[in-house]
Structure 1
């Protein structure tokens, strides 16, 4: 794996871009907290702010970003890794020009590329830098090896939690792992399905106190999303909430969060590594 990362760094050094795409990984400590729906609607809200966004579906078990947009993926990242297709050929186009890279189990193939394959993938994924300002990775939930690799390679992490005690326990477990594996990556918390602002703040406070006391770390509250029955209706319709019910309370919260994310992107606390920096770190960790 060290040799593969060295090859990637050499390839990456041949092309330098003044503007680097920012990589944001969206994750959760457990499944069922609304992570993918949040990711899809965050992408829509960011596109409304004028950001060019591409989503990489990095959930190996439940790759369903395309389904959330009402699309069907004919090709996935596996076809890119095999050399059968280019990045442009596998990239789906969603509403507002949002790009979707169908991933599924194919993302694990990044760890097993030969030199010629690696060069092809770097050239293809390198073109994303000209296509988008932000790459959002919808990771799987929990502490899987591939999930941790994605998180430690990202420029920023957004962790979606809910007020349920089990969600908080699992979120703490993931934060404990990230403290060891991805200590330098800023972690932003979004609390989903809250009844009131007070519920959101109380949930965040419980998690923040535990992290400060036992992990000696810090978090950033990015925002919260109200529990909204229209979200469930949008999921059943396979039309993102931001399109089917743009005036809903949940989507207004996500628009507010997107505004904050845009601010982070414009004035980042740490320099973005771009797609090549992301790939270099990712491959080194496999």
Structure 2
């Protein structure tokens, strides 16, 4: 890893930030992970949180599209030293920062010392910009996805009541049990008809995790199946902006209040960007 470890040790000596890194993931695509990420950020901003989103989905990087924005630069330009973090970051509604990711994210492990130092110093400035860094990961068991998840302070896993979604969610949880056993995992059940449906879905997943993985999950909440979600996606205008009174967004506002609680009273000390990068780079 060249001199990555020594660079990170030097940075780790600086004062620790209280910024938390939260990774949003799912066992399969199409369960509403990015929609939840975008609207969760909007709801958190309503609670006074300063939020930055890192688009970590290498195959379908689309956080900027969900906000109706066009990314001129991505993390790739940061990694090669062409642009600074301030130059690649987009500003969304309510002051939300958006770091377009794309294929550049996976190149983080292949940097020489000079470029790595530049990237870390740039990302380190997020400490003064945000209270929360939310990573919209890719779906499934990809190498980069699991690295992000085991380096985060908290994981929010999105699933739906569909059997295939639950099966894939369990597969990801099985991997995380081995790779990220210490990271708290919070479940959000999306597209439910009722609270009972949501609770039953969570119970099925939790029972399997307790029985076969000897682990535990936290039920963070649910989002109702709401046709206005599809309308907002087609308009490229997030639900929290276009339909803030919708039943789905009210659920997300409630979930955001719980996420704020994670930030205010974390189960363990937050490592901030430096702690996140330290764990992330060790995993490559």
Q: Using structure 2 for the length normalisation, give the TM-score.
A: 0.99
Tell me: CA distance 1:143–1:4, structure 2 relative to 1, closer, same or farther (3 Å). Answer: farther
8 Å contact from structure 1 (residues 230, 245) kept in 2 = yes
Report the counterpart of residue 264 of structure 1 in structure 2: 262
8 Å CA contact retained: 1:11, 1:119: no
Deviation at 1:55, TM superposition (A): 0.1
- CA–CA separation in structure 2 for the residues paired with 1:232 and 1:8: 45
Q: Which one of the candidate residues 134, 149, 154 is aligned to 1:136? A: 134
* Cα pair 1:7 1:115 within 8 Å, conserved: no
The CA distance in 1 between the partners of 2:72 and 2:84, in whole Å, is: 13
- Aligned to 1:260, the other structure's residue is in SS state helix
Match of 1:142, SS state, is: coil
Measure the CA separation in 2 of the matches of 1:173 and 1:5: 32
C-alpha deviations, 1:154-175, integer Å up to 9, x for none?
0000000000000000000000
The equivalent residue for 1:89 is 87
Aligned to 1:8: 7
| Matches of 2:29 and 2:7, distance apart in 1 | 33
Offset of residue 11 of structure 1: 3.2
Q: What displacement does 1:196 show?
A: 0.5
CA distance in 2, matches of 1:69, 1:58: 16
Matches within 5 A, 1:229-240: 229-240=227-238
Cα separation, 2, equivalents of 1:41 and 1:172: 25
Report the 3-state secondary structure (helix = DSSP H, G, I; strand = E; otherwise coil) of the residue aligned with 2:54: strand
Contact 2:4 2:113 survives alignment (8 Å):
no
Aligned with 2:125 (options 120, 124, 127) = 127
After TM superposition, the runs of 4+ consecutive aligned structure 1 residues lying more than 3 A away are: none
Q: Matches of 2:68 and 2:116 in 1, distance apart?
A: 32
Correspondence 1:280 to 2:278? yes
2:48 is matched with: 50
Long gaps (5+) in structure 2: none
The aligned counterpart of 2:155 is 157
Q: How far apart in 2 are the matches of 1:160 and 1:249?
A: 18
Q: Could you tell me how far 1:12 is from its partner in structure 2?
A: 1.1
Q: Indicate conservation of the 8 Å contact 1:157/1:185, yes or no.
A: yes
Deviations 1:189-214 (A, max 9, x none): 00000000000000000000000000
Aligned match of 2:115: 117
Distance 1:4 1:210 in 2: 42
Q: Which runs of 5+ in 1 are unaligned?
A: none
- CA shift, 1:9, in A, is 2.0
Distance 2:92 2:35 in 1: 14
2:214 matched to which residue of 1?
216
Count of paired positions: 284
- Name 1:37's counterpart in structure 2: 35
Q: TM-score, normalised by structure 1?
A: 0.98
Q: CA deviation at 1:13?
A: 2.9
